[in-house]
Each structure stands twice: as C-alpha cells, then as structure tokens.
Amino acid sequence: MNENDIWNEKQNHPELVVQDCKEEFNLTEEQCEKLREILMRRGVNKWLRNRYLFINLKHRVKEMLKSYPIKSKEYRLIHSIYAPMHQIANSQRWVQWPKHVHKKMKQNIEECVVRGKSC
C-alpha cells in the first residue's frame, strides 16, 4: 500500500478493521469481539459514524449554495462554511500518528505525517 493505492481501500466501517486483523493475526471470534470493544471504547466507531453524517451534512450545505446567487451575502456565508467542510471531508487518507501519545492533542496532531495525492 502507498499514498495513491490507499484511495482504493474500503473504509468507514469498524468491521473492516476487525476482518483485517482476524485475517492477519488469526484472531479467534472471542478476540474479534475484544477488538470490537476496543474500537468502540477508543471512539473509532463513533468517529466513523460521525464522518458519514458529516459528509451528508456537507452535501446538504452544498445544495444550499445552489439557492443563492454567487455574489450574494448568503452565498458567501454558506460557502465560508462549506469550503472547510469540503477540505476536511476530502483530506488525505495517508495519516501516520506518532507512536508516543502526548498529553496535549496539539502535540500529537503536529507530529502526524500526512502525505499522498492532492485532492
């Protein structure tokens, strides 16, 4: 897998993680259940669901833009919200977190390595 191939991978479902780990590490069903619990406890399930909801919201905001003339104040306001939403939803998939967990999230984020094709 590399920065370009990663875009061909399915995502957005914690069971894909469980299936990959089951295959890679020969996990038993009991171990798979423990992994599902860990993913939920660490917020992975929540964020995958919220990512889906966020993308749907982004699409609704994009549709709202079509209701206003481009030079209107309303269009500029809605676009100021839509543009960063679009940037977040279409950000790179190749993100490597630091192996050390810092007390301050800002330090963790600053140490992330993000690379890949341009969106």
At 35-46, the pLDDT tens digits run 999 999 999 999
Long-range contacts, stretch 48-54, CB < 8 angstroms, 24+ apart: 48/12, 48/13, 48/14, 51/12, 52/12, 54/85, 54/88, 54/89
How much is the average pLDDT of 24-30?
98
Residue 62, judged by CB atoms within 10 A of its CB (0-12, 13-18, 19+), counts as: middle
What separation in angstroms does the CA of 16 have from each of 9, 21, 46, 55, 105?
10, 9, 15, 20, 26
Does pLDDT of 117 surpass 60?
Answer: no
